[in-house]
Structure 1
Amino acid sequence: MSKKPTVAIVGRPNVGKSTLFNRLVGRKLALVDDRPGVTRDRREGDAVLLGLEFRVIDTAGYEDEDPQTLPGRMRAQTIAAVREADVALFLTDARAGTTPLDEEIGRWLRSETTPVILAANKAEGRAGEAGILEAYGLGFGDPIPLSAEHGEGVVDLFEHLRPHVEREEDEEEVAEEDEAEGPLKLAIVGRPNAGKSTLINRILDQERLITGPEAGITRDSIAIDWEWEGRPVRLIDTAGMRKKAKVEDKLERLSVADARRAVDFAEVVVLLLDGTRGLEAQDLRIASDVLDEGRALIVAINKWDVAQEPSSLFNGIKAALDEGLSQARGVPLLTVSGMTGKGIDSLLAAAFEIRQAWSRRVSTGILNRWFSDAVAQNPPPAPGGKRIKLRYVTQVGTRPPSFVIFGNRTDLLPESYRRYLVNGLRRELDFGAVPVRLTMRNSRNPFEK
């Protein structure tokens, strides 16, 4: 599979990098806010600019801070992104003009081997004219006047990027890519500081995401393409999800909403628990939301290497999950350590296995043989002396598996009997703990007026 050429957007905080990133990928993937420093991890996306296709990286704002601090670790991510890219797009703010930090970024970019394109953002109207002229002094040639917010200057940007990113596609490689199975879309969710980014760094065996003792470092949902044992995986790290009542900050609300959207796009979701704190009510709420969205769920206890009384902790969490998640009993519960790497292979193997069940389609014959046996063993009740007749079942969708049962007076069927059928479906037809959607439809009565 041929790799797309890569463009890294760099610049000081709040010059509009994430706005430009969203413009290029055609969706609001990166969080945007008036305050500086919203982006912390580098985010990647597939961009199309006037037919030109490339991979674009949104980086954290470059700041001159000690490498041990959070801004310093963010800067290290930006440097790594530029070194991996085919071209760096250096963004300045035309309205603010050139600042000492812009000049420092310019000196750093000149010391790297990656080609640089200079663009002055927020250049709409007269207010940006002086800033565009000042940008000449940075020594990267003519700055491209841009307005990421309004989409102005894209033709000039296209002309400057084209020599660096235009490549001929290998037709054989494209065909192979089309035939390959899609990547496993695996989202890691949980409360703040459960160790999500640390676990992903251990899975990738590189410091790809910023970590540290501070809770809530990750703000965006970061998707990373990777391979496990030759099988493609798209890992999605998300912001920590706190209880709604505790989320007062606007930016945190955006981050949590972003994490919920990441669940929507995932196939399998790993709910990461903090092994030093056990299972809390918020964890059950997150798990329930994931299942309600129809996503396959795995629960993993992180920090297992430092957990106290591990055996009783594991059994207690398992019992609480079975009681609290009545809609999908038997959700896989695994133990991992983001620090040592223990349990990661088992976690990924379980994720591929549960996706297979989540995507399964059962033949109509097998499905109705199971259904006939289930109804014969435990016939539906007759509330008020009115007999409920269930006729047949059909599968109407996968991912998650969705079924419709046709019959008479199905609206009178109690919830307990519906649960009996769902549990039987999971157990007898190997759907395991994936969420199963079952709806009832009344067959039309030809004698009804």
Structure 2
Amino acid sequence: MTFSLAIVGRPNVGKSTLFNRLVGKKLALVDDRPGVTRDRREGEGRLGDLTFRIVDTAGLEEATPASLEGRMRAQTEAAIGDCDAILFMIDARIGLTPTDRAFADLVRKAGKPVILVANKSEGRGGEAGTLEAFGLGLGDPIPLSAEHGEGLSDLYDALCDALPEQTRLEEEDEEEEEEEEDDADEVPVEGEAEPEKPRRPIKVAVLGRPNAGKSTLINKLLGEDRLLTGPEAGITRDSISVNVTYAGIPLELFDTAGLRKRSRIDDKLEKLSAADALRAMKFAEVVVILIDATRPFEEQDLRIADLVAREGRALVIGYNKADLVPRGGLATRLREEIDHLLPQVKGVPIVPLSGLMGHGLDKLVAAIASAHKVWNKRVATNPLNRFLQQVTENHPPPAVSGRRIKLRYMTQPKARPPSFVLFCSRTDAVPESYIRYLVNGIRETFDLPGVPIRLTLREKDNPYAD
């Protein structure tokens, strides 16, 4: 039986470091300064034979509800309400602070099992702080070093004591697993319909400039305030993954930090956030570039789109806050501008929407599903070679240095994105303009709008070369 844990504590006690340790990956951003984590991040944690859902939260701070720190605290309190047990963490090297004591009362009122963790206890520097932790009245503190992985065996024992039902594998569970294995071995009877396999969610990364409305849009798709939002630019730091099924289409959405020009980024933390956003883009299948309608299409939007195309991901452009600008000819102007500036993804879907009001969400999800389908599309070899014959008859490749270039054969070895191989003579002599002509022809003939197309030229070895 699985369970969920929430790591809470004041800022800069090592919550994200322990989260990364239990997940086994460096998912959460870690830095020496306090207040790095803002949104709550979830992951699959493992400790020995235990598997559980672990939630990293923002540091608890005293603040007014309307402030950014107050909204961060509300996210942490929501995580406390959803979890089965709480890991309350203190800094053993600093010892107890008035903030620790105040939030220990908050955790105690939650009425859930609490495991007190004294982090940074390696060496003798943390002994005094560990002894002070007894004064919180939350049970025996566990000396731990999240950075070096010390004390995890004691944490395992504490989890088993705090959640005996969830951490014990009962005999009934084992029998159910054996029955499931037996059922899996059974051959389906002819004529009976096989159960449909659940659809794998489409991985979608939402990119854009700061304050374009990425977190607000994802919250509206989820139907809850899952991600931290506000009028301040640059609130999101970590790339947060959430799952949602909208209009019957399962999606795994990645909220990312706003991307500015590299020359304008001086802060180390912003560099880490930008790198995390680009990593989310590389692991996504479809990328939604969100443009603020109140700010015109800028060079940074082009740079992001070009980066997505070079990475080979399907692309959808969301024109957010479209309810704040007049509509007269907006879609037509934007289509002409994007097709002119981004010819490598010509025909990319453009969806006017409002993440705050919830307008255009159906069209956005439909565009994501359509782009994902095109991104996975494969074309048979026979139609490809008929296309090649037709285009060479209409517009043969130019002769270079008085010698003709022969286009022999074309095939598609893979999709995601659609990638084609053209066998021809003198590959180094084929002009770039003719390659673009072939790519545009493939896009129009086989209906591949809005995705990057890879075309590789290959030349067969000449058996008489030696």
| TM interval, short-chain normalised | over 0.9
Distance in 2, Cα, partners of 1:373 & 1:51:
62
Deviation at 1:377, TM superposition (A): 2.8
**1:372 aligned onto 2:389:** yes
Contact 1:83 1:114 in 2 (8 A): no
Which residue, out of 231, 238, 258, partners 1:213? 231
Structure 1, residues 334-386: CA drift from partner, whole Å, max 9, x if none?
Answer: 10101110001110111011111111222333333333333333222211111
Which residue, out of 168, 193, 199, partners 1:181? 199
Which residue, out of 342, 346, 350, partners 2:359? 342
SS in 1 for 2:401: helix
Query: Which amino acid is 1:223 matched to?
Result: S
Query: 1:409 maps to what in 2?
Result: 426
Contact 1:278 1:317 in 2 (8 A): no
Query: 1:107 maps to what in 2?
Result: 105
Query: 1:243 maps to what in 2?
Result: 261
SS in 1 for 2:300: helix
Distance in 2, Cα, partners of 1:240 & 1:252:
9
Distance in 1, Cα, partners of 2:26 & 2:76:
21
Distance in 1, Cα, partners of 2:329 & 2:447:
29
Normalising to structure 1: TM-score of the pair?
0.95
Query: 2:61 maps to what in 1?
Result: 63
Query: 2:349 maps to what in 1?
Result: 332
Deviation at 1:443, TM superposition (A): 1.0
Kindly name which structure, 1 or 2, has the bigger radius of gyration based on alpha carbons. Answer: 2
Query: 2:402 maps to what in 1?
Result: 385
Structure 1, residues 242-268: CA drift from partner, whole Å, max 9, x if none?
Answer: 111111111111111111111011111
**1:73 aligned onto 2:71:** yes
Distance in 2, Cα, partners of 1:182 & 1:137:
49
Query: 1:95 maps to what in 2?
Result: 93
Query: Which amino acid is 2:382 matched to?
Result: G
Which residue, out of 393, 402, 418, partners 2:435? 418
Structure 1, residues 140-199: CA drift from partner, whole Å, max 9, x if none?
Answer: 212121111111112222222246353658655998999433211111111011111111
Contact 1:196 1:237 in 2 (8 A): yes
Query: Which amino acid is 1:400 matched to?
Result: P
Query: Which amino acid is 1:157 matched to?
Result: L
SS in 1 for 2:441: helix
Deviation at 1:26, TM superposition (A): 1.5
Which residue, out of 300, 315, 319, partners 1:301? 319
**1:132 aligned onto 2:149:** no
Query: 1:228 maps to what in 2?
Result: 246
SS in 2 for 1:320: helix
Query: 1:149 maps to what in 2?
Result: 147
SS in 2 for 1:234: strand
Gaps of 5+ in 2: 185-193
Q: Which deviates further from its counterpart, 421-430 or 16-25?
A: 421-430
Contact 1:273 1:283 in 2 (8 A): yes
Q: Which deviates further from its counterpart, 226-235 or 368-377?
A: 368-377
Deviation at 1:114, TM superposition (A): 2.8
Query: 2:287 maps to what in 1?
Result: 269
Contact 2:221 2:246 in 1 (8 A): no
Query: 2:17 maps to what in 1?
Result: 19
Amino-acid identity (%): 56
Distance in 2, Cα, partners of 1:343 & 1:67:
31
Distance in 1, Cα, partners of 2:152 & 2:403:
68
Structure 1, residues 123-150: CA drift from partner, whole Å, max 9, x if none?
Answer: 1111011111111222221212111111
In 2 relative to 1, CA 417–51 (structure 1 residues): closer, same or farther, beyond 3 Å?
farther
Deviation at 1:94, TM superposition (A): 0.9
Gaps of 5+ in 1: none
In 2 relative to 1, CA 272–36 (structure 1 residues): closer, same or farther, beyond 3 Å?
same
Distance in 2, Cα, partners of 1:260 & 1:178:
34
In 2 relative to 1, CA 106–178 (structure 1 residues): closer, same or farther, beyond 3 Å?
farther
In 2 relative to 1, CA 336–162 (structure 1 residues): closer, same or farther, beyond 3 Å?
farther
Distance in 1, Cα, partners of 2:12 & 2:314:
37
Query: 1:439 maps to what in 2?
Result: 456
**Aligned positions of 1:20-59 closer than 5 A:** 20-59=18-57
Query: Which amino acid is 2:372 matched to?
Result: R
Distance in 1, Cα, partners of 2:449 & 2:195:
30
Query: 1:311 maps to what in 2?
Result: 328
Distance in 2, Cα, partners of 1:113 & 1:363:
62
SS in 1 for 2:125: helix
In 2 relative to 1, CA 316–231 (structure 1 residues): closer, same or farther, beyond 3 Å?
closer
Distance in 2, Cα, partners of 1:372 & 1:5:
61
Query: Which amino acid is 2:369 matched to?
Result: F
Contact 1:52 1:162 in 2 (8 A): no
Query: Which amino acid is 1:201 matched to?
Result: N
Query: Which amino acid is 1:219 matched to?
Result: R
Contact 1:406 1:441 in 2 (8 A): yes
Q: Which deviates further from its counterpart, 109-118 or 185-194?
A: 109-118
In 2 relative to 1, CA 422–161 (structure 1 residues): closer, same or farther, beyond 3 Å?
farther
Distance in 2, Cα, partners of 1:402 & 1:41:
38
In 2 relative to 1, CA 86–367 (structure 1 residues): closer, same or farther, beyond 3 Å?
farther
In 2 relative to 1, CA 195–177 (structure 1 residues): closer, same or farther, beyond 3 Å?
farther
Query: 1:282 maps to what in 2?
Result: 300
Query: Which amino acid is 1:68 matched to?
Result: A
SS in 2 for 1:419: helix
